[in-house]
Structure 1
Amino acid sequence: MRDAINRTDTHKQEMIVRNLVQRGVVDRSDASKKMQTLDISLLNGSKPTKVEHWERYGITYRPLEGAEVLAIALGGNPDHLVVTDVADRRHRPTNLNPGELMIHDHQGQSILIGKDYIKIATGKKLVIESDVEITGDITHTGNYNQSGVHIDSNGPHTA
């Protein structure tokens, strides 16, 4: 009898440990509050809703549906899940060099911090809402506008 109880207790403990960290996918996100929540589908078949998405300080993002999550059951309680990490291999850039860091999105926009440079890549408009001070040489390709004057390879033109 005691062996049967011990096996039952051991099985319960194993299940608690196995369910501490689970994988799943994002079904829906709600970024309207200070702590974003996610509805997720876990590999074990459960579909918890309004799971808190803990983000690192200073970095925030809203994951796409289908992104992968790691959900942690706090205190081993499957009714108290938090998502600590979200990854989306569908859009992850590859082949970074050792030590490089990249911030990116699903549209191919990125900021790459490389060994000898920082590269901002976007096919969209880049908006800087601040004064800009540049020390050093500027290499420019293309046209630009300065105080209503359009400047291209043929020189300045008034608007």
Structure 2
Amino acid sequence: MTAHRNFIVRGVLALVNAASKMQSVQMRLTAGELKDNVEHFEPYGITSNPHPGAEGVTLFVNGDRSHAITVCVADRRYRLQGLEGGEVAIYTDEKDFIHLKRNRTIAIETLQLEVKAGVAVDFDTPVIRTTGRIEAAGDVVAAGVSTSRHVHEGSDKKPVPED
């Protein structure tokens, strides 16, 4: 019975080692216990580097206090609040977020959005609205008309040959 005592322990994150394949953390557990090199199991496809002071749930495999794993780290200081049932969000301590909302709406708040893709990115939407400028380093084609090859009638510019 003693082996199962304190099998699940709540603690506070002290340090993170995000450089290894399985991230490890240092946890301050109850009764002043400090555990180093605790494996931090994260959900597939999602990773983070939480700040010291975040809270975590640590398990001891087979009740063995020398074999700890942390299965969840949360940080109430930065968590988005007020999501409706069924909604999901990814967020940072700098208040950037991607919020998958009800009615098939996505809210993104960030100072700068970068999309890097090795292939074409398709947007199948009836309207794209912006309150700022749109800049393109390459050609822009609208309704089959190239902005770099298109010449208005009466212009002294010569059309650019097609590729």
TM-score range, shorter chain: 0.7 to 0.9
Aligned with 1:99 (options 78, 86, 100)? 86
User: What is the deviation of 1:44?
Assistant: 2.1
Is 1:114 aligned to 2:101, yes or no?
Answer: yes
CA contact (8 A) 2:3 2:62 kept: no
Give, as a single letter, the amino acid of the residue that structure 2 aligns with 1:119: A
Tell me which residue corresponds to 2:14.
27
Alignment of 1:23-102 (within 5 A): 23-102=10-89
Describe the SS at the equivalent of 2:135. strand
Distance 2:53 2:3 in 1: 26
Structure 2 segments unaligned to the other structure (5+ residues): 140-163
Tell me which residue corresponds to 2:124.
135
Distance 2:45 2:123 in 1: 25
Question: In the comparison of the two structures, how many residue pairs are matched?
Answer: 135
Distance 2:133 2:57 in 1: 46
Describe the SS at the equivalent of 1:144. coil
Describe the SS at the equivalent of 1:44. helix
Higher helix share: 1
Distance 2:43 2:10 in 1: 19
Give, as a single letter, the amino acid of the residue that structure 2 aligns with 1:138: I
Give, as a single letter, the amino acid of the residue that structure 1 aligns with 2:129: T
User: What is the deviation of 1:96?
Assistant: 0.5
Tell me which residue corresponds to 1:146.
136
Distance 1:141 1:120 in 2: 15
Which runs of at least 4 in structure 1 moved beyond 4 Å after TM superposition?
Answer: none
Structure 1 segments unaligned to the other structure (5+ residues): 1-12, 150-159
- Paired-residue identity, %: 33
Give, as a single letter, the amino acid of the residue that structure 2 aligns with 1:110: F
RMSD over aligned Cα, in angstroms? 1.5
Deviation digits for residues 68-127 of structure 1 (CA, Å, limit 9, x no counterpart): 01000000001100000000001111110111101111110111001120111112x211
CA contact (8 A) 2:4 2:62 kept: no
